[in-house]
Amino acid sequence: MSFAFFFPGQGSQSLHMMNGFDGVQVVRDTFAEASDALNQDLWAMMNGEDAEIIGQTVNTQPLMLTAGVATYRAYLAAGGALPSVVAGHSLGEYSALVAAGSLKFTDAVKLVRLRAELMQSAVPQGVGAMAAILGLDDDVVRQICADAEQGEVCEAVNFNSIGQIVIAGNAAAVERAMTAAKEAGAKRALPLPVSVPSHCRLMQTAAEKLAVALQDVALMQPEIRVIHNADVVSYNDAAQIKDALVRQLYSPVRWTETVQLLVREGVTESAECGPGKVLAGLAKRIEKEAVCSALVSQEAVDAFIAAH
């Protein structure tokens, strides 16, 4: 029985998010490995009381990567079978590459910390914004963004499910697009609490610096097929994988198409590997046949393994 594993990205973090894995040694070990690589105690940060600190991009990215990989390792340690295909939403693509054996975990931890720093420094605080637009067609949102630019940047950047699109760019242009979206009949247009306008062309300078850093990172041929966000295809060649990661920074996350592709191929079963249930919820909205389990605890992991 073939099934997919999905890895969540930023926005799924919460304090105490690994509580469902209390006493699972491999989870603690994974966090210790990441903390050593960064010289910073991620476990203590995640289990502290400061939600703001784990919401800072430079902390969220390594935390979510580590949480996803720790969950995957807990699944393997419990005797879970390998998925036939993996994909990650935005930052989750790095977790997917680690799971596929393409990227070493400690390299990935340092890489996503750098990626976060580059993203944060590419656009000064307050200059960029992101917003979710609900209930409009993809092409309508693209057109609204194009009209809202007026010399600035505003793009549709996350196609999360049908009628759920995230836009990003300069704060004023995003504001104009939100107003236009409401006028065009959007159910909702909500500003998102993020400090970085991800996946739009304001990230191009960050992407260029990421490309330089990737030159020094070893990437192996994936042992499990990885579907990339930027073009909804898989690569085996290290140079092509690096290129996909660079382009991902300033290209839309094509999540709707990713789930649709898998269902077309007959892969209707999946598991969201990491905290939260965002991707499990999206899968259901994208394709009626898609069944996605959220592996938010050791019990959920054991239940998924028992069913497969």
Q: Please list the active-site residues.
A: 90, 199
Beta bridge partners of 85: 4, 225
Beta bridge partners of 129: 169
Give the residue from 53, 214, 215, 167 showing the smallest Cα distance to 42. Answer: 53
User: SS3 of 225, please?
Assistant: strand
Neighbours of 172 (CB within 10 A): 14
Element of type H or E holding 130: strand 128-134
Pairwise CA distance, residues 48 & 151, whole Å: 43
Can you tell me which residue has the tokens 């289990």? 47
Pairwise CA distance, residues 74 & 76, whole Å: 6
Pairwise CA distance, residues 17 & 13, whole Å: 7
Q: Are 140 and 184 in contact (CB under 8 A)?
A: yes
- Amino acid at the residue 273: C
